[in-house]
Amino acid sequence: MPDFIIYALLAGIGLALAAGPLGSFVVWQRLSYFGDTLAHSALLGIALGLVTEMNLSLAVLCCACAVALLLVILRNRTRLSQDSILGILSHTSLAIGLVVISLFSTNQLDLSAYLFGDLLSVGKSELIAIAAAVIFCLGLVGHFWNAFLSITIHPELAEVDGLPVFGLHLLLALLIAVLVAAAIKIVGVLLITALLIVPASTARQNSSSPEAMALLASLYGVIAVCGGVALSWYIDSPTGPSIVLCCGAMFALSLLFNNLPKKQL
């Protein structure tokens, strides 16, 4: 196998591992629209990175974290519902990003690499950055696992128990932001939420504990990445969408297998 395929596989597998547990929380807290919002804000990050000539990944990370911060604060301070806040943040940051790119980019920027991802162009240095992001996310999720579960089940109960609920919500949002920033390269802005929620939703069917669901989601994600890269290798399809296609196919299969026997009973 050529190097770029190995890099692509490693990067994809790493992200899928981290996306399992984080995606499970996205599903449990009904935050699936949050992933989209972060992805749109990542586009703003790319625009700002181009204008200020800073490292693009770093710019994307900063923007995603800023939006995550803004979301958690707005959710606490205003009476708008969460999905309204997400919609406002999402489309405003997308619009700013598009305007900035069109105003400032001198040579026509190819947006499609960011919209759909370009896994096969992952290099050594990017692989190291992704590995660092994955270890960071997995380490913190593991360390705060029970606390994150508690605030997901009943925030007020968690607060009476003495947990720093606001801080934990913020940390979880930031971890998702880090993962989204790292995953932009792989599946792109448009499909990033799929990597978070589809494997987790597939895992829900066959798991009896939150831990099992998170692990299974990671496993399904890894399988989808391998399948997507293989598909892209053999039929020359775009890699990011192929990975998401595999996620979707696995979800469909799990629905089929879990619902057929019940009907016969």
Partner 1 sequence: MSNTLIKAHAVNVIIDERSILSNISLCLDAGHITSLIGPNGAGKTTLTKTLLGLQKPSSGLVTKRPGLRIGYMPQQLHVDQNLPLTVERFLSLANSEKGRVTQALTEAGAAQIKSHSLSKISGGEMQRVLLARALLRDPQLLVLDEPARGVDIAGQEELYSTIANIRERHGCGVLLVSHDLHLVMAKTDSVICLNRHVCCQGRPEEISIDPAYLDLFGQNRPAALALYTHHHDHDHDIHGNIVDAEKGKGTDA
**Nearest CB to partner 1, comparing residues 129 and 250:** 250
Work out whether 80 is an interface residue with partner 1 (CB under 8 A).
no
Smaller CB separation from partner 1, 75 or 204: 204
Give 27 or 183: the residue with its C-beta nearer to partner 1.
27
One DSSP character per residue, the chain reads --HHHHHHHHHHHHHHHHHHHHHHHHHHTT-HHHHHHHHHHHHHHHHHHHHHT--HHHHHHHHHHHHHHHHHHHHHH--S-HHHHHHHHHHHHHHHHHHHHHHH-SSPP-THHHHH--GGG--HHHHHHHHHHHHHHHHHHHHTHHHHHHHHH-HHHHHHTT--HHHHHHHHHHHHHHHHHHHHHHHHHHHHHHHHHHHHHHHHTT-SSHHHHHHHHHHHHHHHHHHHHHHHHHH---HHHHHHHHHHHHHHHHHHHHHHHHHH-
Distance CA 66, CA 62 (A): 6
Using CB under 8 A, which of 73, 95, 160, 253 touches partner 1?
160
Q: Counting contacts by CB under 8 A, is residue 153 touching partner 1?
A: yes
> Shortest gap between Cβ of 51 and partner 1 (angstroms)?
40
User: Per CB under 8 A, which of residues 212..241 are in contact with partner 1?
Assistant: 212-213
Q: Does 122 bind partner 1 (CB under 8 A)?
A: no
The region of 15-23, 48-56, 113-121, 157-165 touching partner 1 under the rule CB under 8 A is: 157-165
Q: Exactly one of 6, 30, 76, 102 binds partner 1 (CB under 8 A); which one?
A: 30
Contacts within 8 Å (CB) and 24+ apart, 233-237: 233/5
CA angle 167, 182, 185 (to 5 degrees): 150
Sole binder of partner 1 in the list 149, 215, 223, 249 (CB under 8 A): 149
Residue whose CB is less far from partner 1, 29 or 82:
29
Closest to partner 1 by CB, 235 or 265: 265
28 binds partner 1 (CB under 8 A): yes
Cβ atoms of 120 and 230 closer than 8 Å: no
With CB under 8 A as the contact rule, the residue among 96, 98, 159, 226 that binds partner 1 is 159
- Nearer to partner 1 by Cβ, of 87 and 155: the residue is 155
Of 36-44, 100-108, 153-161, 256-264, which part binds partner 1 (CB under 8 A)?
Answer: 153-161
- Candidates 10, 152, 223, 226; binder of partner 1 (CB under 8 A) is 152
- Contact footprint for partner 1 (CB under 8 A): 27-30, 146, 149-150, 152-154, 156-157, 159-161, 201, 204, 207-210, 212-213
